[in-house]
Every structure is written in structure tokens, then in C-alpha cells.
Amino acid sequence: MGLVSTIFTWPMLPVKGLIRLAEMIQEQAERELHNPAAVRRRLEAIEEARQAGEISEEEERAAVEQIMKQVTG
């Protein structure tokens, strides 16, 4: 039975590997999304863009709200 099951499951190994890789990428992205240092860098970049006049106050507020929703949700 081991040989037969191996023959039938062998073609699915690349798909299983791809699924695991996608899961690992998702886990890393979620860790980065909730990492306090990364969140702070994004907030600082928004603040710098506002001070440089690259974005409006309304755009700054929307960007900060979006980051906070991502962190809390």
C-alpha cells in the first residue's frame, strides 16, 4: 500500500509545496504588518511626507487611519 499511495500522491507534492510557501509568505507579511518598529516607520514616513508638503492633511489622516485599522484588525 505504501508504494501505491506514494505513486498517487507524488504528483501533488509540488502543489503542497507551493501552498506551504504561500502560507509562510503570509505569516511573514502578517508579522511585518504588526511589528511595532515597522508600524512606526510607516507612520514616520507619512508624517515626513506631510511636512514636506507631498500629501495633504486629509491624506495624512486617511493613511494613519488605514495603518491603525491594519494593526488592530
As averages over each run of 10 residues, the pLDDT of the chain (73 residues) reads 76 90 94 88 95 95 93 79
The confidence score (pLDDT) of residue 1 equals: 56
The confidence score (pLDDT) of residue 34 equals: 83
Residues 22 and 45 in one domain: no
Residues 20 and 45 in one domain: no
Alpha helices in the chain (DSSP H): 2-9, 13-34, 36-51, 57-72
The set of residues, in sequence order, having a beta carbon less than 8 Å from that of 68 and lying 6+ positions away, is none
Residues 27 and 43 in one domain: no
The confidence score (pLDDT) of residue 60 equals: 95
The confidence score (pLDDT) of residue 40 equals: 93
Residues 7 and 40 in one domain: no
Residue with cell 488592530: 72
Where in the sequence is the domain holding 48, given as residue range(s)? 36-73
**What does DSSP assign to residue 15?**
H
